[in-house]
A and B are shown apart, each in its own frame.
Chain A
Amino acid sequence: MTTRVFVPRDSSALALGADAIASAIVQEAARRGVAVELVRNGSRGLLWLEPLVEVQTPQGRIGYGNVEASDVASLFEAGFLTGGAHPRSVGLVEEIPYLKRQQRLTFARLGLTDPLSIDDYVAHGGLAGLKAALGMSPEAACQTVLDSGLRGRGGAAFPAGIKWLTVREAKASQKYIVCNADEGDSGTFSDRLAMEGDPFALIEGMIIAGIATGATRGYLYVRSEYPHSIDVLRAAIDKARAAGWLGEQVLGSEHRFELEVAKGAGSYVCGEETALLESLEGKRGIVRAKPPVPALSGLFGQPTVVNNVITLATVPIIFARGAQFYRDFGMGRSRGTLPFQLAGNIKHGGLVELAFGVTLRELVDTFGGGTASGRPVRAVQVGGPLGTYLPESQWDIPLDYEAYAAVGAVVGHGGLVVHDDTSNLAELAQYAMHFCAVESCGKCTPCRIGSTRGVEVIARIRNGDTSEKQVQLLRDLCDTMVSGSLCAMGGMTPYPVLSALDHFPEDFGLRPAAPKAAAA
């Protein structure tokens, strides 16, 4: 009997030696004369367990976490091919509470399948969405996205259906679908997991977007820091084309769609949609002034849908299960699920997909298990480098776009970076300004000059000039950047800076604000 053994091949597992483990398993099996079918699956998103080797048993898939190549002989010795006990065993993977308690919709297939197997993809519910979309009018398809309540998952949370309808109604000979896969925010990796772990879902979502809006060409703009994602996507596109999903007749229909990968070149601001379009056109990634919005004048001046990876990868399940099914998850105006990413100083880092409304405390404590260092959590930055640092008093706010906005925070792309009590928030604030100075495209003055002035003034405060004048200067500068910048790079860099200043003034050498002192 042949036993199926799964060794992930996403870049996290590879960086931890998954290839060496895979070949050790094959060699050891050959040496012992046992039949093993090796499957290179995607990561389950339980990154703290990587490399997570799984074995198919009649009871289900049994996992062995943090495996090293040197463990392989002892795994065979322990009878791991039948789920034998071993110090590395984590039991039935589906029963691990971290995974069991999730609501995986966008990531329903993550880790279950070989990411480059179309058969696996279809066997696990793939392509049902595209088939449903082909059976409806383009207008109805746009309406489905609108009804689902899906909002842009890149961070701006703009309703995807409105964007699609705008492109649908625009008159043009050529329209485009552009996938923003320039996932540059520290603390985020859900785009990468989607591209490396379930690329066909993203491709299917882009084809549906093309059919709904009348766009016949798609581009996946992937950052150069993700070479493995680029390789996986290119291989997946070739397979999708060979299977008749792409080309002159999508699945034999009258719809045409072509898709290609464009590689970025290391520029954070190219995650901003207009800078991304400039870069796709082969130019410097400089932000464009809006209006016109890309939905009317985007790539090469044509109507263009620009959506994030997670937005597009969520489209297939909305069509497969219906708008109402998706809409039933979530709270308020934040419908559906968000793949949260637990990152930084956290014990159980990884991907946690849940409906909106979960709290930071639940994510960090219950799922994350606290810090990796074992020290108390001090601050959590939510929403990437442009998101605020949340102190403990804000950890019970439901993760919902509007609830977060109400306290001046952002949910963004769902990335959480945890910092323990050894962190220095003034240093992190200075870093935020430094990062803005490094990555500013230079088009607008508040961002280009303000970021460097910001580094300087925070450095002065940290060096002991804690006068009211310096603090006011920093606040004025932040005000100018928020109000005067063209895009979120300069416009939101003050978010982490001001939240650090407001909630952790002691790190700047300042006395806590009066009301807080009175309360204490």
Chain B
Amino acid sequence: MEHVSVPAPDELVRRHASPGASLIAVLHAIQDETGFVPPDVVAPLARAFNLSRAEVHGVLTYYHHFRTHPPARVAVALCRAEACRSMGTETLARHIEGRTGCRFDASREAGDGQTHGQAHEVELESVYCLGQCALSPSLTINGVLHVKVTPEKFDALLEQARAGAASTPERTKENV
């Protein structure tokens, strides 16, 4: 079992809730630091923004990007939208499920709290368009984009990611 150490909720809010920042920007900042938004930041965030906890919870859970549990060691986000469908993303999805033994969107369907603070090995998420529609199918693994993905290419990427060889999401920043 992998334990995830996260700063205390009050500390996270103090660090990121700068005056004038929007709630969404603060949630991004928290998730960028910890990999997810711990549900117990809702109360201190509500106090900081002078909102009800329901309002903060509403924003946190409305947006697909925000997650309330730690990401798996290998997080796969596969595009399931039209352009990728025309190039076999559904066949690829079945291959990925068979290969990893996981189901797409299982954590979302199970709701929050099903992970008990435990980070899973692999997590599969459906996303709708990564903007690479001329190079379908596309997916990200731990935030790194891959295009023209075949089952064979996926297997190789999965091996790399499992071996910890996957590049970090910071990669894109180096290119600017």
Query: Which residues from chain A sit less than 8 Å from chain B, CB to CB?
Result: 9, 11-12, 14-16, 19, 40, 47-48, 50, 116, 183-189, 192, 224-228, 231-232, 234-235, 262-268, 279-285, 341-346, 349-350, 372, 381, 385, 415, 417-420, 423, 428, 431, 435, 438-439
Give the CA-CA distance A346 to B86 in the complex, in Å. 9
Q: Report which of A226, A283, A419 forms a contact with B59, defined as CB distance below 8 A.
A: A283
What are the residues of chain A within 8 A of B172 when measuring CB–CB? 11, 14, 227-228, 231
Cβ–Cβ contact A341 & B134, under 8 A: yes
Partner-binding segment picked from B3-11, B77-85, B95-103, B114-122: B77-85
Partner of A14 from B28, B138, B145 at Cβ < 8 Å: B145
B77: shortest Cβ distance to chain A, in Å? 9
Q: Are A235 and B176 in contact (CB under 8 A)?
A: yes
User: Can you offer 19 A-B residue contacts whose CB atoms are under 8 A?
Assistant: A11-B145, A15-B135, A183-B131, A186-B84, A189-B133, A189-B134, A225-B130, A231-B173, A235-B176, A262-B22, A263-B25, A266-B64, A279-B24, A282-B24, A282-B25, A283-B59, A284-B63, A346-B134, A428-B85
- From the candidates B25, B28, B63, B87, name the one contacting A267 in the complex (CB within 8 A): B63
With a cutoff of 8 Å between Cβ atoms, the chain A residues found around residue B79 in the complex are 186
Query: Which of A19, A225, A234, A431 sits near B85, CB closer than 8 Å?
Result: A431
The CA-CA distance from A428 to B84 in the complex, in Å, is 12
B81–A435 contact, CB under 8 A? yes
Q: Which chain B residues border A415 with CB–CB below 8 Å?
A: 133
Point out the residues of chain A lying under 8 angstroms from B136, CB to CB.
343-344
In the complex, given contacts A265-B65, A284-B63, what are 6 additional A-B residue pairs having Cβ atoms less than 8 angstroms apart?
A183-B129, A186-B81, A263-B25, A284-B58, A344-B82, A346-B134
B residues in contact with A262, CB < 8 Å: 22, 24-25
B46 in contact (CB, < 8 A): no
Q: Which of chain A's residues has its CB closest to B174's CB?
A: A19
Q: Does B43 contact A (CB under 8 A)?
A: no
Residues in chain A near residue B127, CB distance under 8 A: 225, 266
Interface residues on B, range: 35 or more
In the complex the two chains form, is B59's CB within 8 Å of A225's CB?
no
CA distance in complex: A343, B23 (Å):
35
Tell me, yes or no, whether B175 is within 8 Å of chain A by CB.
yes
Secondary structure of the A contact surface, majority rule: mixed
| Complex contact B83–A187 (CB within 8 A) | yes
A167 to B172 CA separation, bound complex (whole angstroms): 37
Contacts of B27 in A (CB 8 A): 265
Residues of chain B contacted by A189 (CB below 8 angstroms):
131-134
Flag B60-91 by CB within 8 Å of A: 1 or 0 each. 00111110000000000001011111110000
| A344 close to B129 (CB less than 8 A) | no
Instruction: Check if B64 sits within 8 Å of A187, measured CB to CB.
Output: no
Say yes or no: A282 contacts B22, CB within 8 Å.
Answer: yes
Q: Considering only CB atoms, which chain A residue lies closest to B55 in the complex? A: A283
Check A345 against B134 for contact (C-beta < 8 Å): no
Closest residue of chain B to A281 (Cβ to Cβ) is: B22
Q: Which of B159-176 contact A (CB under 8 A)?
A: 169, 172-173, 175-176
| Residue pair A267, B133 in contact (C-beta under 8 Å) | no
Per the 8 Å Cβ criterion, residues 10-35 of B in contact with A are 22-25, 27-28
Which residues on B are within 8 Å of A, measured CB to CB?
A: 22-25, 27-28, 49, 55, 58-59, 62-66, 79, 81-87, 127-136, 138, 143, 145-148, 169, 172-173, 175-176
- Specify which chain B residues have a CB less than 8 angstroms from the CB of A235 in the assembled complex: 176
Contact B175 A40 (CB under 8 A): yes
* B173 nearest in chain A by CB position: A231
Interface pair A14/B63, CB less than 8 Å apart: no
Q: Are B86 and A341 in contact (CB under 8 A)?
A: no
Q: Least Cβ distance of B157 to chain A in Å? A: 11
A419 lies within 8 A of B24 (CB)? no
Query: A349: which of B55, B62, B63, B134 is its contact (CB, 8 Å)?
Result: B134
Query: What residues of B have a CB within 8 angstroms of the CB of A265 in the complex?
Result: 24, 27-28, 63-66
> Which chain B residues border A345 with CB–CB below 8 Å?
86-87
Chain B hits for A16, CB < 8 A: 135, 147-148
Whether A184 and B176, one on each chain, are in contact in the complex, defined by CB atoms closer than 8 angstroms, is: no
Quick one: which of B86, B143, B148 contacts A423, CB cutoff 8 A?
B86
Question: Across the interface, which residues of B come within 8 angstroms of A188, CB to CB?
Answer: 129, 131, 133
Most chain A CB inside 10 Å of its own CB: which residue of B64, B131, B143: B131
Residues of B within 8 A of A350 (CB): 134
Query: In the complex the two chains form, what is the Cα distance from A425 to B176 in whole Å?
Result: 41
Contact of A438 among B22, B66, B128, B135 (CB under 8 A): B128
Among residues of B, the one whose C-beta sits closest to the C-beta of A282 is: B22
Q: Chain A residue with minimal CB distance to B167?
A: A19
Minimum distance in angstroms from B74 CB to a CB of chain A? 18
Across-interface contacts of A381 in B (CB, < 8 A):
82
Q: Say how far B64's CB is from chain A's closest CB, in angstroms.
A: 4
| Residues of B close to A183: CB separation below 8 A | 129, 131
Cα–Cα distance between A520 and B65 once the two chains are bound (Å) = 49
Taken together as a complex, chains A and B put the C-alpha atoms of A346 and B135 apart, in Å, by 9
The 9 closest A-B pairs by CB, nearest first: A349-B134, A282-B22, A186-B81, A266-B65, A265-B63, A343-B133, A266-B64, A344-B86, A282-B23
CB distance from B34 to the nearest CB of A (A): 16
Q: Which residues of chain A come closer than 8 Å to B169, judged between CB atoms?
A: 227
Known: A344-B133, A372-B87. A267 touches B62 (CB 8 A): yes
Q: Distance in Å from the Cβ of A236 to the closest Cβ of chain B?
A: 9
The smallest C-beta distance from A461 to any residue of chain B, in angstroms, reads 19
Q: Which residues of A contact B24 (CB under 8 A)?
A: 262-263, 265, 279, 282
**CB closest chain-B residue, reference A10:** B175
Contacts of B132 in A (CB 8 A): 11-12, 15, 189
Q: How far is the CB of A104 from chain B (nearest CB, A)?
A: 17
Give the Cβ gap from A293 to chain B, nearest Cβ, in Å. 23
- Return the chain B residue nearest A192 by Cβ: B131
